[in-house]
Amino acid sequence: MREHGVRSLLMGGQACVLYGAAEFSRDADAVVLADADNLRRLADAFAALDASVEDVPPFEERYLERGHAVHFRCARQDVRDLRVDVMARMRGVDPFSSLWERRTTVTLGETPDRLDVDVLALTDLVKAKKTQRDKDWPMIRRLIEANYFSFRDEPTAARIDFWLRELRSPELLVECAGAYPEPAQAVSRERAAVAAAMRGERDDVERELQNEQDVERAKDRAYWAPLRKELEQLRHAQGDRASD
């Protein structure tokens, strides 16, 4: 993607690896700018990887703009069978222009094999992970804990606010709220789990964290319901064409 000048940000499991919250991910996921020029460059990149679209929807701007993911499978020898999923819009996540401004760039390898990888910012990755899938919630917890333990001795206002708004471990949320009572008081007006953490009531914190998860999962199911219906219609239409 970098070789072809594609505006894209790594997300998903590979991004979690780079943020220290996972050890392995088979596939790659990216959010891309969905305009004609960028998608043309993306098509060139996938052509170089001998990649083709798997299943539905097809690789068209209109489906990306509606929030669908397009799934590619690579056939080039060095990346054979690698699956790459691309999206342009996600529930609860800002437009690509904002994501691009907040991006993190990670450098992998050494010269001459050095590679700079543009990655979804941690705050945006956490938002993108708030789905109905069971596997995403433990990953969110690990992402935030990894950041907390890495920078607990180097707190900034932005980090403290992020931890108070997103920590999902009752023990750590109680610790953080106790360490930073003034910002915790401000966040507690919007997050009941922080109010419980300030009282030191870990059972209440656990209950409020579960409530947060239930609400987000319900929102995600509602968001995907019409998109899933559209995918089923596309599969039926594809099957009808194949049988003609």
pLDDT tens profile 28-51: 999 999 999 999 999 999 999 999
Which among 216, 74, 241 is positioned nearest to 208, based on CA atoms? 216
Q: For residues 188 and 123, give the distance between their C-alpha atoms in angstroms, rounded to a whole number.
A: 19
So what's the pLDDT on residue 113? 86
pLDDT band for 132, please (50, 70, 90 cuts). Answer: very high
199 secondary structure, DSSP code: T
Number of neighbouring beta carbons within 10 Å of residue 21:
22
Distance of CA 42 to the CA centre of its chain: 20
Q: How far apart (Å, rounded) are the C-alpha atoms in residues 237 and 228? A: 14
Amino acid in the structure at residue 240: D
Q: Work out the average pLDDT over 195-212.
A: 97
Per-residue pLDDT for 208 more than 90? yes
Average pLDDT, integer, range 222-237 = 95
Q: What is the pLDDT at residue 25? A: 80
Name the one residue in this structure whose structure tokens are 């992020």.
Answer: 162
